[in-house]
């Protein structure tokens, strides 16, 4: 049986790992390769690297970081940020990444999803979505550019479109919860997981082990991603998995 | 010496790094003359079946791989590389593969007994061994990492070495004679993945071929 995945996320800016509190306040939490190695040893199922400066500071490739991590790791990892064209995907995947994640670029030009999926197969293409509740619309809205720009798109429509274009996975970040440590957004995750037939990674709001249980059971997530609670050693992947196992959630 | 077949698509870097970790010499090449001198081949693969076969045909590597396989040289296909070893695939149409193993790649239906399930099959799943093989010698069945939307079906049962369960039986390790495939990514599957890769390289070392 397929296990639920725990995915530490490393937000990378100029080669260093940082984590923003609601995308604004940044603290330096270390070297990507060091962290990757530590997470691998802790039993992380996958890693995600996001170049958070990519959208507004121009395109930055992370080829060196990717190669360094791929040399150290025996687990898969996804790279996002600054991937705007098929050529960017080729460079990142050939440097050793297993998947690329598209966010702003896919919203601006959805065909990019199809191009990537046709060339690499859908399983290599992750569509990352920054979602924020819109009181007026009564649903979640898609934000781009690192969560700074609201778009016309609604999350539940966009995930379906992304899936039909060839997305292999959705990385869903709740901006309402990101950095708050008050728990994942169960409602949002469940709604998205039921709207599409591809795996959904829940992100934003992890505060402790019990949050993971909730997002896998009530939230119907296939994987859960967290950054700060792992970086600052408030808990470990090992602890979270032990808790999940006790709660009857199937983990590796 | 292992030859990693570079046909323009694939997880070359991670496969090569994995070989470095277990101390096995390798070359990465798209040239027959170079690949011919190696003791065993690895056919990696990330991507779509049609594009991969097209590239293999354009570079004349498909004929070369078949020749080498028929001559007895060990070959290991990984992920898409494993699917390429079979007769055909239904990915974006029906396309012929290398035909070294019997069976075809079909898409996960995404529905089982009226219930929907997620496609791709993505994540860590547990292997079940069906028969002894040099590839699975001295290893215990545990979790390995899968990422795929197509799986092999109608395969020769004799060629099924290990499978996993994802709303049905999914061939995970296959092999007949000197031709092997792994549907998951051994190079991304932690210690077990590394042990399986090491077993393949050991098999290569123990196999003498006059090609």
State pLDDT tens for residues A164-179.
999 999 999 999 998 8
pLDDT reported for residue B63: 97
Residue B11's alpha-carbon distances to A69, A122, A134, B43, in angstroms, are 14, 15, 41, 10
Q: Assess contact for A132 and A105: CB atoms under 8 A.
A: no
| DSSP bridge partners of A17 | A12, A30
Residues of chain B with C-beta less than 8 angstroms from the C-beta of A199:
118, 120, 122-123
The pair of three-digit structure tokens given for residue B27, joined into one six-digit string: 């070359």
Cis peptide leading into residue B120 (ω within 30°)? yes
**How sure is the predictor about B40, in pLDDT bands with cuts at 50, 70 and 90?**
very high
Catalytic residue numbers of B, as ranges: 79, 185, 187
pLDDT reported for residue B4: 96
Which domains does chain B possess?
2-206 (3.40.50.880)
pLDDT reported for residue B53: 94
The answer to whether A157 is a known catalytic residue is: no
| Chain B residues contacting A via beta carbons under 8 Å | 9, 11-14, 17-18, 20-21, 46-48, 51, 80, 91-92, 110, 116-126, 143, 145-149, 165-166, 185, 187-191, 193-194
**How sure is the predictor about A16, in pLDDT bands with cuts at 50, 70 and 90?**
confident
Which domains does chain A possess?
5-246 (3.20.20.70)
Query: How many beta-carbon contacts under 8 Å exist across A and B?
Result: 114
To the nearest whole Å, the CA of B67 is away from the closest chain A CA by 27
pLDDT reported for residue A217: 97
Nearest to A67 among B13, B21, B110 (CB): B13
The answer to whether residue A228 scores a pLDDT higher than 90 is no
State pLDDT tens for residues A117-149.
988 888 889 999 999 999 999 999 999 998 899
pLDDT reported for residue B11: 64
On average, the pLDDT of chain A sits at: 89
Question: Which residue out of A130, A178, A211, A222 is catalytically annotated?
Answer: A130
The answer to whether A64 is a known catalytic residue is: no
Q: Which of A173-182, A217-226, B61-70 has the lowest mean pLDDT?
A: A173-182
Distance in angstroms (rounded) separating the CA atoms of residues A86 and A37: 29
Q: Assess contact for A91 and A119: CB atoms under 8 A.
A: no
Q: Which of A51-65, A88-102, A133-147, B153-167 has the lowest mean pLDDT?
A: A51-65
pLDDT reported for residue A57: 46
Using CA coordinates, name the residue in chain A closest to B119: A198
The answer to whether residue B44 scores a pLDDT higher than 80 is yes
pLDDT reported for residue B10: 64
């Amino acid at each position: 049986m397929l296990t639920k995945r725990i995915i530490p996320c490393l937000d990378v800016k100029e080669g260093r790992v940082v984590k923003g509190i609601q995308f604004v306040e940044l603290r330096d939490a270390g070297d990507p390769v060091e962290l990757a190695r530590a997470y691998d040893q802790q039993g992380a199922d996958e890693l995600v690297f996001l170049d958070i400066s990519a959208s507004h500071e121009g395109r930055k490739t992370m080829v060196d970081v990717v190669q360094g991590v791929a040399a150290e790791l025996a687990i898969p990892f996804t790279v996002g940020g600054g991937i705007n064209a098929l050529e960017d995907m080729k460079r990142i995947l050939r440097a050793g990444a297993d998947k690329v994640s598209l966010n702003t670029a896919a919203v601006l030009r959805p065909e990019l999803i199809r191009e990537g999926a046709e060339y690499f197969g859908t399983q290599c293409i992750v569509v990352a979505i920054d979602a924020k509740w819109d009181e007026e619309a009564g649903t979640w809205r898609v934000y781009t550019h690192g969560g700074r720009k609201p778009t016309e798109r609604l999350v539940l429509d966009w995930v379906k479109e992304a899936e039909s274009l060839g997305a292999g996975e959705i990385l869903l970040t709740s901006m309402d919860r990101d950095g708050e440590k008050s728990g994942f957004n169960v409602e949002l995750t469940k709604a998205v997981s039921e709207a599409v037939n591809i795996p959904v990674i829940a992100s934003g709001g992890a505060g402790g082990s019990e949050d993971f249980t909730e997002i896998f059971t009530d939230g119907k997530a296939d994987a859960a991603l967290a950054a700060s609670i792992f970086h600052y050693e408030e808990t470990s992947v090992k602890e979270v998995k032990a808790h999940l196992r006790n709660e009857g959630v199937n983990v590796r | 010496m292992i030859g990693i077949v570079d046909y323009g698509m694939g997880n070359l870097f991670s496969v090569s790094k994995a070989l470095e970790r277990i101390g096995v010499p390798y070359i990465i090449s798209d040239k027959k003359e170079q690949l011919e001198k190696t003791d065993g081949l690895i056919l990696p693969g990330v991507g779509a079946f049609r594009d991969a076969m097209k590239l293999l045909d354009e570079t004349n590597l498909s004929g070369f791989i078949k020749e080498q396989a028929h001559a007895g040289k060990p070959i290991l296909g990984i992920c898409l590389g494993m699917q390429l070893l079979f007769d055909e695939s239904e990915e974006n149409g029906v396309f012929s593969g290398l035909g070294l193993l019997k069976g075809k790649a079909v898409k996960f239906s995404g529905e089982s007994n009226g219930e929907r399930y997620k496609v791709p099959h993505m994540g860590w799943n547990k292997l079940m061994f069906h028969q002894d093989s040099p590839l699975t010698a001295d290893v215990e069945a545990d979790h390995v990492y899968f990422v795929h939307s197509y799986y092999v079906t109608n395969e020769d049962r004799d060629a099924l070495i290990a499978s996993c369960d994802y709303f049905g039986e999914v061939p995970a390790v296959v092999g007949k004679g000197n031709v092997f495939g792994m549907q998951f990514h051994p190079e991304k599957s932690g210690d077990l993945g590394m042990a399986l890769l090491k077993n393949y390289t050991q098999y290569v070392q123990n196999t003498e071929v006059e090609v």
